[in-house]
Amino acid sequence: MNALKQTILYIFFIMGVAFTSCEDLDDLNTDPTRMQQANPGVFLNPVLYNVSSYNWERYNSFTFHLMQGIVTTNSTGGLGWYYMTDAAGDGTWSTYYRWLNNIKEMEEQAEELNEPNYEAIAKVLKSWLYQILVEGFGDVPMTEAIRGDEKIFTPAFDSQIDIYRTILQELDSANLLFDETQGLRYNPEGELLYHTETPASGATSAGIVKWRKFANSLKLRVLLRVLDVNGLNAKAEIMKLINDPVAYPLFESNDEAALLPVTGVYPLEAPMTRPQDFTSYKALSEFFIDHLKEWNDPRLPIFAQQTTNDGVKSYFGWPSGYNTVPSFNGSLPNQGIVKAPMKLALMTYAEVEFIKAELAQKSIISSDAASHYRKAVEAAITQWGAIVPEGYFDNSETKYDNSLERIMIQKYYALFFCDYQQWFEYNRTGMPEMPVGEGVPIGNVMPRRFKYPSTLQRTNLANYQKAKESMGGDDFNLKLIWQK
Residue-wise pLDDT tens digits, 257-280: 999 999 999 999 999 999 999 999
Whether residue 138 contacts residue 159, with contact meaning beta carbons closer than 8 Å, is answered with no
Residue intervals of the chain classified under CATH 1.25.40.390 are 3-270+340-348+415-471
Radius of gyration of the chain (CA): 22
DSSP tag of 158: B
> Is the pLDDT reported for residue 41 higher than 50?
yes
| Range name among 13-22, 82-91, 162-171, 260-269 with the lowest pLDDT average | 13-22
Confidence of residue 200 (pLDDT cuts 50, 70, 90): confident
Q: What is the pLDDT of residue 38?
A: 77
Whether residue 365 contacts residue 359, with contact meaning beta carbons closer than 8 Å, is answered with yes
**Residue 134's closest CA among 246, 234, 226?**
226
DSSP tag of 18: -
Q: Is domain 3-270+340-348+415-471 annotated with CATH 2.40.50.140?
A: no
In our burial notation (b when 16+ CB lie closer than 10 A, e otherwise), range 167-182 reads bbebbbebbebbebeb
Distance of alpha carbon 249 from alpha carbon 211, whole angstroms = 10
What is the mean pLDDT of the segment spanning 353-358?
98
Whether residue 57 contacts residue 38, with contact meaning beta carbons closer than 8 Å, is answered with no
Q: What is the pLDDT of residue 10?
A: 43
For residue range 275-332, list pLDDT tens digits in order: 999 999 999 999 999 999 999 999 999 999 999 999 999 999 999 999 999 999 999 9
> Is the pLDDT reported for residue 15 higher than 70?
no
